[in-house]
Amino acid sequence: MKYLLLIYGQSAEDAFEVGDQAAWDRFNRLLETRDAWRGSEALTSASTARTVRVQNGAPLVTDGPFAETKEQLAGYYLVDCPGWDEALELAAYIPSAADGSASIEVRSVLEWQNQS
């Protein structure tokens, strides 16, 4: 089953600057060893975000994230593992989570069935 490990921090930059590069390398090797890594990306600051809503059939674009929060989504890992227990275990190994500077939201990915 696939899970998104969503990394939230005070800023996008801070969530990935915590700890040394070696800690991130060890985490990435752990994912590779378990053949769980399906993708990952770091995101730019929430101040660069745009939000799109459709009103009366026309898109309305506003600057900034959808919601004002103290923490912002800094990046994610997409992992494939047998179940929640392993997904939560992997989330706890993320270096910025391990030292308490970021929180990790774990969400299962909805598996769509092709209805053709």
Q: CA-to-CA distance for 70 and 77, rounded, in angstroms?
A: 21
Using alpha carbons, select from 74, 88, 87, 86 the residue that is nearest to residue 18. Answer: 74
Could you tell me which CATH number the domain at 2-107 has?
A: 3.30.70.1060
Q: Compute φ and ψ for 33, nearest 5 degrees.
A: -60, -40
- Judged against a pLDDT cut of 90, whether residue 98 lies above it is answered with no
Domain boundaries of the chain, sorted by first residue: 2-107
Give pTM, 2 decimals. Answer: 0.83
What was the pLDDT predicted at 62? Answer: 85
